[in-house]
């Protein structure tokens, strides 16, 4: 019956690309109970083989995965192919890290109160199950960033991908089973919160909830989860800051790429461009030139640079925010009005920094220019004026400026001469303020947060 199924639709042409089960709380309970009852006993070598085999299968099938991502998310073929190749890194890095034991050793004869002993640390998987909840904007990579570190550390998971883009996650689970993962270590439940309620957050066998998505849902999880570990990777409102000494052509290139890649649907996309007044006219001209080269349209066309946003409702919201900014004095320098889920790259200049368009997270390919005074203290104040604190990109060569930005921007990442989102899949990644609780993603940090550290000691007469 239809209430037991959810349709997955292609945002570009609204065709049905799949049907998924609509899980109810009892299905979630069953998945957690099954996972909790299983005690993983994979050796480091066995985990390393499963993870590396997964990486290799994903590499071999990257076109199949790209097709799925484009069909359910509306992302252009170039972006989907890039995501499929990034996933290889996540799984391969996790495989390589699995064979490294990061246990520590402490000598106890280091003070007058000391003894002839040594203390050792070792990491163990969680006693309970990891509950992983993932968003639509990276249907493969976000899921990989939860699963790979969990498997690397011998944990069991229940995964709930968003109902908007669940097909990629289901295909990934199949690859994992094929690579040799014991099926009890991973269950995927699909559906939407209206049928599942808070089951993924409140299950008694969930020791840790890892969530990537909106601030609203993240705060709901924080309020509801109770006594368990929570790792929240929430929204961003990332600035690209352009100072008066910057190479403007290079800065404009970063601005346009950073604002439009993945249809602007990255928590680390360029959501605000803060450019100092003295170079703003010249900079805006270059931004428009570069934005005009982007082709927006059919996501399956390999020539398309920008596909759709996730749905027509989101595109309409972004259009309303642009219109609101214009009503408050901003000027649209390039772009078209939203058509269904297509939101064309839109350059908006002279935006007051308090406008909803740039004060809230606008999750689409808007290229918003905010003119700021030629005063670094003001630039930093305006940059820090939103609730978010994820990443930032900086265009300057002045060492005094660089030091202040690194010290004073309230963000998790400061990238010099690069888009805010730049990272490797292994480096620590995450935000502060409303962007997250300060726990980091990136394979190394995730493996740490998914384990318990146990210390043990013994007599040691050296």
Active-site residue set: 233
Mapped onto helix, strand or coil, the DSSP state of residue 136 is coil
How do 432-433 and 388-389 pair as beta strands?
antiparallel
Residue 350: is it exposed, middle or buried by C-beta count within 10 angstroms (0-12/13-18/19+)? middle
Mapped onto helix, strand or coil, the DSSP state of residue 111 is coil
Residue 348 contacts residue 357 (beta carbons within 8 Å)? yes
* DSSP code per residue over 36-103: HH------HHHHHHHHHHHHHHHHHTHHHHHHHHHHHH---HHHHHHHHHHHHHHHHHHHHHHT----
- Measured CA to CA, the distance from residue 272 to residue 65 in angstroms comes to 31
How do 346-349 and 393-395 pair as beta strands?
unpaired
Query: What backbone torsions phi and psi does residue 295 show, to the nearest 5 degrees?
Result: -100, 120
Q: What is the C-alpha end-to-end distance of the chain, expressed in Å?
A: 71
- Measured CA to CA, the distance from residue 51 to residue 311 in angstroms comes to 33
- Measured CA to CA, the distance from residue 130 to residue 158 in angstroms comes to 6
Residue 326 contacts residue 347 (beta carbons within 8 Å)? no
Residue 217 contacts residue 238 (beta carbons within 8 Å)? no
Question: Both tokens of residue 7?
Answer: 């349709």
Residue 436 has what DSSP assignment? B
């Amino acid at each position: 019956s239809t209430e037991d199924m959810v349709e997955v639709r292609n945002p570009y042409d609204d065709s049905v690309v799949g049907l998924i089960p609509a899980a109810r709380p009892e299905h979630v309970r069953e998945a957690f109970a099954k996972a909790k009852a299983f005690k993983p006993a994979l050796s480091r070598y066995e985990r390393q083989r499963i993870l590396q085999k997964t990486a290799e299968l994903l590499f071999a099938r990257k076109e199949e995965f790209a097709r799925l991502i484009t069909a359910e998310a509306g992302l252009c073929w170039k972006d989907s192919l890039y995501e499929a190749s990034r996933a290889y890194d996540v799984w391969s890095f996790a495989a390589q890290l699995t064979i490294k034991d990061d246990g520590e050793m402490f000598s106890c004869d280091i003070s007058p109160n000391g003894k002839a002993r040594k203390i050792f640390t070792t990491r163990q998987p969680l006693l309970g199950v990891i509950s992983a909840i993932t968003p639509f904007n990276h249907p493969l990579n976000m899921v990989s960033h939860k699963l790979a570190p969990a498997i690397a550390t011998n944990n069991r998971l229940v995964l709930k991908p968003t109902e908007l883009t669940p097909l990629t996650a289901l295909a990934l689970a199949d690859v994992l089973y094929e690579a040799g993962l014991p099926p009890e270590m991973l269950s995927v439940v699909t559906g939407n919160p209206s049928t599942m309620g808070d089951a993924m957050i409140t299950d008694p066998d969930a020791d840790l909830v890892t969530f990537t998505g909106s601030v609203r849902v993240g705060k709901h999880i924080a309020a509801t989860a109770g006594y368990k570990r929570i790792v929240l990777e929430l929204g961003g409102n990332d600035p690209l800051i352009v100072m008066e000494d910057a190479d403007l052509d290079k800065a404009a290139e970063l601005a346009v790429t950073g604002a439009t890649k993945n249809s602007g649907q990255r928590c680390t996309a360029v959501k605000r461009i803060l450019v100092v007044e003295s170079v703003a006219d010249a900079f805006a001209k270059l931004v428009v030139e570069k934005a005009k080269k982007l082709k927006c349209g059919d996501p399956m066309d390999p020539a398309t640079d920008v596909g759709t946003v996730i749905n027509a409702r989101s595109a309409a919201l972004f259009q309303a925010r642009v219109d609101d900014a214009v009503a408050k004095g901003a000027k649209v320098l390039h772009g078209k009005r939203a058509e269904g889920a297509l939101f064309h790259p839109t350059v908006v200049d002279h935006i007051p920094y308090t406008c909803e368009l740039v004060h809230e997270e606008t999750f689409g390919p808007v290229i918003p220019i905010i003119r700021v005074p030629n005063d670094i203290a003001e630039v930093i104040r305006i940059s820090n004026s939103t609730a978010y604190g994820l990443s930032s990109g900086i265009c300057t060569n002045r060492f005094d400026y660089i030091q202040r930005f690194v010290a004073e921007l309230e963000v998790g990442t400061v990238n010099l001469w690069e888009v805010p989102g730049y990272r490797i899949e292994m480096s620590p990644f995450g935000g502060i303020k409303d962007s997250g609780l300060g726990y980091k993603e990136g394979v190394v940090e995730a493996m740490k947060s998914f384990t318990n550290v146990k210390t043990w000691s013994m007599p040691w007469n050296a």
